[in-house]
Amino acid sequence: MSWDPSIYLSFDAERTRPAVDLTSRIPTASPRVVIDLGCGPGNSTAILARRWPSTRLIGVDNSAEMLAAAAKSSVRAEWQEADLRDWSASEPASVIFSNAAFQWLDGHAAIFPRLIRSLEPNGVLAIQMPRNFDAPSHVLLREIANDPRWSSKVARFNRTDPVASPAAYYAMLCGDAASLDIWQTEYQHVLDGEDAVFKWVSGTALVPYVAALDGGDRKEFLNVYRERLARAYPRQSNGKTLFPFKRIFIVATR
């Protein structure tokens, strides 16, 4: 899957805001090492650097494009290319942080408890994931991907919901965590310009579908999706588009 950091960062403020909100709930005053899993172009790592200016920071991602953008940023961190499916810390970390990455992976019940157990004593696992599987943006994408015109190429990217409920994460993590703080928020993003939601998903959910299509199929697929999104998210009288976006936050202390 090939990410385009510049498209992703076209909604930098909105995408980074949950990282700010998550960081503000981490109780650690002076961590030794903080790791940002799925760091992308370094926008979430920048928030961690601002909170702990003299702490060792490590950003991990499996996208060479994202890591190249991160390395070019002004964020002072070590950047590592690795897949989160089998990543493990080389030494106990003070904080393992992840903003908007683990929704790309299945199997949280195996991964998250393992991450907590790899923390140093009193270490913190802090994770934010979109919980928008049932939002029109995602329902429409799955519906259109099932169209026989291109389903043989893209229907395989339709997943079952990878993100569980707050109660499920509590049950999954309470055995390994001394304390657990879980909450959900629905941001009401106010987006500018034409086809704003289409542009938003072009930087994230749409990426694997577009990569698997070419030529006329790709054009037609995108046209159908763009039109249906515009109907689902109409522009307001001031020209802006309201994009409700639900996210789940987990802060687990070992």
Ligand X SMILES: C[S@@+](CC[C@H](N)C(=O)[O-])C[C@H]1O[C@@H](n2cnc3c(N)ncnc32)[C@H](O)[C@@H]1O
User: Which residues in this chain contact ligand X in the complex, by CB under 6 A?
Assistant: 3, 15-16, 19, 38-40, 43-44, 61-63, 66, 83-85, 99-101, 104-105, 204
Q: Kindly tell me which of 8 and 150 has the beta carbon lying closer to ligand X.
A: 8
Q: Which is nearer to ligand X, 150 or 212 (CB)?
A: 212
Sequence-ordered alpha helix ranges (H) in 62-135:
64-72, 108-117
Closer to ligand X by Cβ: residue 184 or 223: 184
Quote the least distance from Cβ 130 to ligand X, whole Å. 8
Please check whether residue 190 is in contact with residue 242, taking contact to mean a CB–CB distance below 8 angstroms. yes
CB of 238 to ligand X, least distance (A): 27
- The strand pair at 119-130 and 241-253 is best described as antiparallel
The DSSP H or E segment spanning 123 is strand 119-130
CB of 152 to ligand X, least distance (A): 24
Q: What is the nearest approach in angstroms of ligand X to the Cβ of residue 4? A: 11
Q: How far is the CB of 241 from ligand X (least distance, A)?
A: 20
**Cβ nearer to ligand X, comparing 45 with 241:** 45
Least distance in Å: CB of 98 to ligand X? 7
Whichever of 31 and 40 has its CB closer to ligand X, that residue is 40
**52: which DSSP letter?**
S
Which H/E stretch holds residue 58? strand 56-61
**Residue spans of alpha helices (H) in the chain:** 5-8, 12-23, 43-51, 64-72, 108-117, 136-145, 151-154, 166-173, 196-202, 207-212, 215-232
HEC profile of 175-214? CCCCEEEEEEEEEEEEECCCCHHHHHHHCCCCHHHHHHCC
